[in-house]
Amino acid sequence: MTGKRSSTHIPLLKSDCYRSVYFKHPPLQAPLVNPVASLQHFEIHNRCIWKNTATAHRLDFYMVFLVTAGEGTHRMGLHEHDLRKNMLCFVGPNVISSWDWTGDDHRGYFCSFSDDFFNTGRNDKQFLSRLPFFQIDGHAVLDLSDEQAGQYASLFQLMEREYARRGTHNDEVLRSCLHALVHKAHSEYPSKISTQALHDRSGSRLLQAFTELYSRDFEPIQHGKMIHSRKVSEYADALGVSQNHLNDTVRALTGHSAGQLVRIRLVKQATMCLMHSNKTVSEIAYLLGYEDPSYFARFYKSQTGKAPSEVVKSA
């Protein structure tokens, strides 16, 4: 990975195309994924299907993997890790990742999932984005004891079995297991590493503050109230930086401008409302700050390729 290279030149792999970079051969099961706007992605497999090398890339979803055999070097965000047995690793969205593994005997488990899958039914939608091991400058590896590794392996194995069954209620079981895994890792994350991660990089602190700021602007819609999203210049003023500095920092760390991140969040929020709300498209448009439903419809289709009415019908 070339550290001086701009992250805008590093490909962003989505849930429907990352397998060509990661897998030696396609898995037996297709991923669980909602066909509308790539929501509700979840996938779990054994790591033996991973390729030995992968060049620098970014993901638009979350990934957790456990190493049970094999050794290699994995670069995640600002850190390079020598991985081996009993290491639990985390890759967050937009974190630059690449690896080189020695030999062919690298085993373990991995699951990939969207924030929409994880957050279904949760009140705190920002939990994942605040976790220290998913931060761009965070320490993304937990070195486990044999006993701890066995406990995490049991969770992965349970998810693997539920994933293979594909019954009506399996997604809830998968989500519960995933919640247990992530919360357990958070409880075992060393506090000294967490504190260091929060203070290492001023750019990452600015990105985190910006993310929390615009995320709070979306909270009223959870209570049926209209959101009031701000201009990028207003976010910059609230954060005490210039608009150019905010955009440059956010783009360097995520590959997106500040305005693009807000629009991505807006589209995700709109899709969730269209799929799960009983409100009309016009009512949803109003809640999202659009007085003209036709303008909202044009914006939504330009971002997703689907009209809002299509999403409602397919829900």
C-alpha torsion 192→197→201→203, nearest 10: -150
Residue among 43, 153, 174, 70 nearest 109 (CA): 153
One domain for residues 146 and 27: yes
One domain for residues 273 and 147: no
Backbone angles phi, psi at 311, to 5 degrees: -70, -40
Look at 149 and 34; give whichever has higher pLDDT: 149
One domain for residues 93 and 215: no
One domain for residues 176 and 247: no
Tell me: the pLDDT tens digits for 221-247?
Answer: 877 888 888 899 999 999 999 998 898
Final residue before a domain boundary, out of 172, 198, 224: 198
**pTM for this prediction:** 0.62
The answer to whether residue 1 sits within a structural domain is: no
One domain for residues 31 and 142: yes
One domain for residues 92 and 183: yes
The answer to whether residue 290 sits within a structural domain is: yes
The answer to whether residue 2 sits within a structural domain is: no
One domain for residues 119 and 171: yes
One domain for residues 148 and 230: no
Final residue before a domain boundary, out of 173, 198, 223: 198
Tell me: the pLDDT tens digits for 54-102?
Answer: 988 889 899 999 999 999 889 887 678 889 999 999 999 888 888 998 8
CA angle 133, 113, 221 (to 5 degrees): 90
Question: Is residue 281 within 8 Å of residue 309, measured between CB atoms?
Answer: yes
One domain for residues 223 and 274: yes
Tell me: the pLDDT tens digits for 248-277?
Answer: 888 877 778 899 889 988 988 888 788 777
Q: What does the alpha-carbon distance between residue 274 and residue 281 come to, in Å, rounded to a whole number?
A: 7
One domain for residues 122 and 178: yes
Enumerate long-range contacts of 244-250, CB under 8 Å, 24 or more apart. Answer: 246/206, 246/210, 249/203, 249/206, 249/207, 250/206, 250/207, 250/210
Tell me: the pLDDT tens digits for 156-197?
Answer: 999 999 998 876 678 889 999 999 999 999 988 875 444 444
One domain for residues 177 and 234: no
CATH number reported for the structural domain that contains residue 244 in this entry:
1.10.10.60
Q: Which residues share a beta bridge with 83?
A: 72
Domain around 246:
201-314
Looking at the structure of the chain, the number of domains it has is 2
One domain for residues 93 and 194: yes
CA angle 270, 296, 130 (to 5 degrees): 30
- Residue 49, pLDDT above cutoff 80: yes
